[in-house]
């Protein structure tokens, strides 16, 4: 059975369980929260070792072939262009559709969320570089930086590094197969994740106040990921069937939506890039690391759209074009700063937009969307992962780091 079919069946079965559960029951919600945390931990289990060893080998091989800077440049261009297009397209759609304002309820500002950029930067270079390997596996940028320097170090003197290179290469392949095993059983894990998602969704649809925003984000994300992104593949030469490419990414798409966690989907995405499209490790490892760290434009777009709805909820005045541009520009820069938040990027980005928008009621505006946070995160992560999938494919294909595979061999 194909991986995406397992994930789809697991998701449908889990949603059926979730919707059958009584809404608003605190014991049920607490139980599913515990199961959700356990399931996410299982999915992330092999992320750090896979990322460390595969990225180390990728940096070494790309530098050996004098392709490292070229691949960095290609991936960076794709990330920046995608961020600009997705964020401003989402803002324009929000302005045209104009979802209904959300009734304002008084909420106590008992939490202050933010990007905490200073802490994110300081954690990249701890006093002991090996300590990044013993972290909780949530913030992966320090891990990527460690792998980068390891890969650079292997090029220093190949006669000295050859024994270590052989070991790292073997570990990379071993942990890849361990991660692939978890991808194979992900259908069972998705039962838990989709059940918790359905329990949460069942609670908010009864309120009906978020209906317009839910529908708008859902429809836009489907059109963007299943329509617009595949069409961009036509730009590539030689020509390729974009719907075959889309079909090859259905597994990561389902996993991203119900997990809402970038780190959770990394092993799934890497296995699909390799097994479905034959992306070489030196390309897929580098692209996956860069996109999962810096390409969070889907989460930023969702935050920008939600922020516009919040502004309209507080005031019936028309939003000035300059303010729209400012919101888009701030969301654009925020999209590169969400590496520390793999599982709540859209809500953190929304909080950052609110806290940076003057003073007064807007600063706590994100709290009125807290019941909808899981949905915002799901849509944002779904778009982020699809951008990562298509971007990695484009970068590899344009560089020749790909081996074509028949559709019947897709996992």
| Span 258-312, pLDDT tens digits | 999 999 999 899 999 988 888 999 999 999 999 999 999 999 999 999 999 888 8
Q: Report the domain count for the chain.
A: 1
Question: Global pTM?
Answer: 0.92
The reported pLDDT for the residue numbered 24 is 62
CA angle 19, 197, 187 (to 5 degrees): 95
pLDDT in tens, 179-215: 888 888 888 888 988 988 888 888 787 777 888 899 9
Query: Domain range holding 64?
Result: 3-409
With contact defined as beta carbons under 8 Å apart, do 307 and 95 qualify? no
Give the dihedral sign, CA 312/316/318/323.
Answer: negative
What are the Cα distances from residue 319, in Å, to 122, 313, 333, 340? 37, 12, 21, 31
User: Tokens 């949530």 sit at which residue?
Assistant: 138
DSSP characters over 214-240: HHHHHHHHHHIIIIIHHHHGGGSSS--
- Asked whether residue 77 carries a pLDDT value surpassing 70, the answer given is yes
User: Which pLDDT tens digit goes with each residue over 127-180?
Assistant: 888 888 887 778 889 999 999 999 888 887 777 778 888 899 899 999 988 888
Tell me, what's the pLDDT at 1? Answer: 76
What pLDDT score does 187 carry?
85
Is the backbone peptide bond immediately before 238 cis, with ω within 30 degrees of 0? yes
Cα–Cα distance measured from residue 227 to residue 230, given in angstroms and rounded to the nearest whole number: 6
Element spanning 43, H or E = helix 26-43
Nearby residues of 130 by Cβ (< 8 Å), 6 or more positions away: none
Q: Is residue 348 over pLDDT 80?
A: yes
The CATH number given to whatever domain includes residue 177 is: 1.10.3860.10
Tokens coding 102: 């959300």
pLDDT at 127: 83
The two tokens of residue 142 are 């320090």
Distances (CA, A) of 65 to 60, 212, 288, 362: 9, 51, 20, 51
- Cα dist. 153→63, 133, 285, 383 in Å? 11, 17, 18, 35
Cα distance between residue 202 and residue 157, in whole Å = 59
Whether residue 98 has pLDDT greater than 90: no
Q: What is the number of H-type helices and E-type strands within the chain?
A: 18, 0
């Amino acid at each position: 059975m194909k991986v995406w079919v397992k994930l789809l069946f697991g998701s449908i079965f889990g949603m059926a369980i979730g919707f059958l559960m009584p809404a608003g029951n605190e014991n049920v919600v607490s139980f599913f929260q515990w199961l959700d945390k356990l399931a996410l931990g299982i999915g992330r289990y092999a992320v750090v070792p896979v990322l460390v060893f595969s990225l180390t080998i990728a940096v070494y091989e790309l530098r050996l072939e004098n392709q490292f800077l070229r691949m960095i440049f290609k991936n960076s261009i794709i990330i920046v262009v995608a961020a600009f297009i997705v964020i401003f397209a989402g803002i324009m759609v929000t302005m045209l559709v104009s979802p209904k304002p959300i009734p304002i309820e008084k909420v106590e500002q008992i939490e202050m969320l933010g990007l905490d950029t200073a802490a994110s930067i300081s954690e990249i270079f701890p006093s002991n570089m090996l300590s990044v390997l013993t972290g909780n596996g949530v913030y992966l940028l320090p891990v990527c930086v460690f792998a980068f320097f390891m890969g650079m170090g292997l090029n220093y003197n190949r006669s000295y590094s050859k024994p270590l290179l052989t070991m790292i290469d073997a570990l990379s392949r071993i942990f890849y197969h361990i991660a692939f095993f978890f991808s194979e059983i992900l259908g069972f894990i998705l039962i838990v994740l989709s059940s918790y998602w359905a329990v949460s969704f069942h609670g908010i649809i009864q309120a009906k106040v978020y209906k317009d925003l839910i529908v708008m984000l859902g429809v836009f994300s489907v059109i963007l990921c299943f329509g617009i992104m595949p069409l961009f593949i036509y730009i590539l030469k030689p020509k390729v069937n974009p719907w075959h490419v889309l079909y090859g990414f259905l597994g990561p798409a389902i996993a991203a939506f119900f997990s809402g966690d970038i780190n959770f989907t990394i092993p799934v995405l890497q296995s699909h890039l390799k097994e479905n499209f034959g992306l070489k490790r030196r390309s897929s490892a580098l692209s996956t690391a860069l996109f999962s760290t810096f390409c969070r434009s889907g989460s930023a777009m969702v935050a920008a759209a939600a922020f516009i709805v919040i502004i309209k909820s507080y005031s019936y005045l028309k939003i000035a074009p300059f303010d729209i541009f400012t919101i888009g520009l701030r969301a654009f820069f925020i999209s590169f700063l969400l590496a520390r938040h793999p599982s709540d990027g859209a809500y953190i980005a929304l909080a950052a937009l609110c806290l940076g928008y003057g003073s007064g009621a807007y600063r706590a505006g994100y709290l009125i969307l807290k019941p909808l946070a899981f949905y915002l995160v799901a849509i944002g992560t779904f778009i982020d992962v699809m951008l990562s999938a298509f971007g990695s494919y484009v970068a590899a294909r344009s560089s020749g780091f790909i081996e074509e595979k028949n559709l019947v061999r897709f996992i």
